Amino acid sequence: MTSPLSHLRVLDMSRILAGPWAAQTLADLGAEVIKVERVGGGDDTRSWGPPFIKDTNGNDTQESAYFMSTNRGKKSLALDISKPEGQAVIRKLAAKSDILIENYKVGGLAAYGLGYEDLRQVNPGLIYCSITGFGQTGPFSSRAGYDFLIQAMGGLMSVTGEPDGKPGAGPQKIGVALTDILTGLYMTIAALSAIAKRDTTGEGCHVDMALLDVTTATMANQALNFLVTGKAPGRMGNAHPNIVPYEAFEASDMYLIVAVGNDGQYARFVEAAGQPELATDARFSSNAARVDNRDILIPIIQDFMKRRTGADWIDSLEKVGVPCGPINNMEQVFAHPQVQHRGMRMELDHPLAGTVPQVANPIKFTGQPHVYQGAPPTLGQHSDDVLSGILDMSEDEIAALKSAGIVEG
């Protein structure tokens, strides 16, 4: 079965998470992705452990779980681009590629003669995708930007965590590098949009994607809450700024989420709780009223939630169509029957480990299962294949590059 992007070749010159996430998404959709890594160490995240995967003898390898999460389906070319010979290889590959993804500092690749203006000379149709912390322009453009820093600077941490005066108060980062992941997804959208335009114009372009821009954009309702009122929203723990009740509550034996999205759900919720009068009370009868009076309503809900078990609440509320559920850890997530039914855990063959676990791509086309192209590669695993198969280099030419330390693998 032909995958949607099997006609595209991607040159992945990025590392860490945002760029590799975009490239992995493209690989999952069928693109041929060549991951260019530095000789001697490769992508920084290869060493971001423990945990590391184990080989078939049960010993730790040098392949981290972090790296495994974002480099599936790629071909690894270990190449020294600081040398003219390595730069020549990149130019040849760019001439035969559709998309290039990089996350060097502004001007970093241009210093090697591998910037957008350089490579468009060898391939006018190339979609050159740059990911930086702050963008290609502006007073902060030369600064490095990591997800944690951008979560803080982009406002995400200002609305995440318990409010002042509560136990554990203070700003918190999200428990996964979400700014990087969102940037990778936006870059995937941008790259494919540019490909669609190229199909009609024949021209490539330079995509300028900044983590700070993405974080600002994805503040969504919180950003508009500020722009409409002029008042910066603050930390509210698990509460929602615009909907009540919509947060975590403590049952007699566990915490669970109750997510009431409209007045009908609210009426059914308090009816199931044996408190029907709370639906007709003018202070709580509409969502706007409940938001205004949350400090009165939430303690009432907290009190009656503690009187029954979590399983009892979940059963009762599911029967009346009120969204609720437990707060699962990762073990519970992958044991969940719905997650298992959807095939979100899978295994791929790996040259060192035999097989490695992977989290499946969530994109599903009805009747068209994903055809994954392979596990995350070992460093330089495909160097020979790329140089000989794509660039038609001879064994002697490849051997010379290896002897000079330009290529590894």
Question: Which of the residues are catalytic?
Answer: 180
How far is residue 392's CA from residue 399's CA, in Å, rounded to a whole number? 13
Contact 372, 349 (CB under 8 A): no
Sequence letter at residue 25:
T
How far is residue 223's CA from residue 233's CA, in Å, rounded to a whole number? 8
Number of residues that make up the chain: 409
Contact 79, 90 (CB under 8 A): yes
